[in-house]
């Protein structure tokens, strides 16, 4: 009979940690969808050859997205501490950690949205113009409808990336499953705890990917 005392001792904390991870993901992904989504649509519409083509504005947005995305996440995490204090009132805890997570997720998702919208056939957008649709109607009734399964898969990719980013947030006391793995599994050499947390992350990733794939397939009528 293997010694399970470490694992049993960690279970209550593991439960809290899972909640913290999910909270960080929920906040980060919401910010990505609500702010990064529209930013991605804008990036697409303002881009070369599109109906609202604005080279200067597109250049600025494009530069911003690339710049934020080029920061290693751990640097962004530390660099944003003053900003995090203003937004979350503290720089410690899962809500505080969700601020840099969101900050990184917004341009990431914006880029994924832009790329997915580029796959919508030009002719379909043109047909909507020919029927007298406004830009907003084209976004809501054409682009989002035609790209919806790709967008769900983009969100899946984002969720899985940020599940692992959230582990880094442990460094600033963000908590979460990854933080638990580092504190017990790594610093205290409790290999069994490490294995348990990694196994839990593997299960979470599988669930996210499976759900994303299924939803995308159901939405795709092409």
Q: Which residues bind another protein (CB under 8 A)?
A: 121, 123-124, 126-134, 137, 141-142, 145-146, 148-149, 219-222
Rounded to a whole number of angstroms, the minimum distance from the CB of residue 132 to another protein is 4
* Cα dihedral across residues 11, 163, 78, 96: positive or negative: negative
d(CA 119, CA 123): 11
Residue 118 or residue 129: which is nearer to another protein going by CB?
A: 129
> Which alpha helices (H) appear in 47-120, and where do they start and end?
55-70, 73-79, 81-88, 94-118
Residue 57 or residue 124: which is nearer to another protein going by CB?
A: 124
Residue 1 or residue 136: which is nearer to another protein going by CB?
A: 136
Residue 91 or residue 149: which is nearer to another protein going by CB?
A: 149
Residue 137 or residue 206: which is nearer to another protein going by CB?
A: 137
d(CA 70, CA 54): 24
CA nearest 35: which of 113, 95, 87? 113
Rounded to a whole number of angstroms, the minimum distance from the CB of residue 44 to another protein is 17
Rounded to a whole number of angstroms, the minimum distance from the CB of residue 43 to another protein is 22
Rounded to a whole number of angstroms, the minimum distance from the CB of residue 174 to another protein is 38
Rounded to a whole number of angstroms, the minimum distance from the CB of residue 137 to another protein is 5
> Quick check: 41 and 143 in contact, CB under 8 A?
yes
How deeply is 203 buried, as exposed, middle or buried, from its count of CB atoms within 10 A (0-12, 13-18, 19+)?
exposed
Residue 115 or residue 161: which is nearer to another protein going by CB?
A: 115
Rounded to a whole number of angstroms, the minimum distance from the CB of residue 143 to another protein is 10
CA nearest 107: which of 43, 156, 45? 43
CA nearest 38: which of 117, 100, 123, 104? 117
């Amino acid at each position: 009979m293997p010694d399970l005392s470490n694992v049993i001792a960690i279970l209550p904390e593991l439960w809290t940690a899972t909640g913290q991870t999910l909270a960080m993901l929920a906040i980060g992904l919401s910010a990505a969808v609500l702010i990064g989504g529209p930013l991605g649509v804008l990036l697409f519409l303002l881009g070369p050859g599109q109906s609202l083509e604005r080279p200067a504005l597109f250049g600025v947005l494009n530069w911003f997205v690339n710049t934020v995305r080029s920061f290693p996440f751990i640097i962004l995490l530390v660099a944003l501490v003053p900003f995090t204090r203003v937004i979350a009132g503290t720089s410690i805890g899962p809500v505080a950690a969700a601020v840099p997570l969101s900050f990184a997720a917004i341009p990431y998702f914006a880029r994924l949205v832009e790329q997915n919208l580029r796959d919508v056939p030009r002719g379909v957008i043109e047909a909507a113009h020919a029927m007298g649709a406004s830009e907003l109607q084209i976004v809501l009734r054409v682009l989002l409808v035609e790209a919806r399964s790709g967008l769900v898969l983009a969100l899946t990719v984002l969720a899985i990336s940020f599940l692992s980013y959230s582990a880094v947030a442990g460094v600033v006391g963000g908590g979460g499953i990854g933080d638990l793995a580092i504190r017990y599994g790594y610093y205290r050499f409790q290999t069994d705890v490490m294995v348990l947390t990694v196994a839990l992350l593997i299960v979470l990733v599988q669930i996210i990917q499976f759900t994303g794939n299924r939803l995308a397939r159901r939405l795709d009528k092409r």
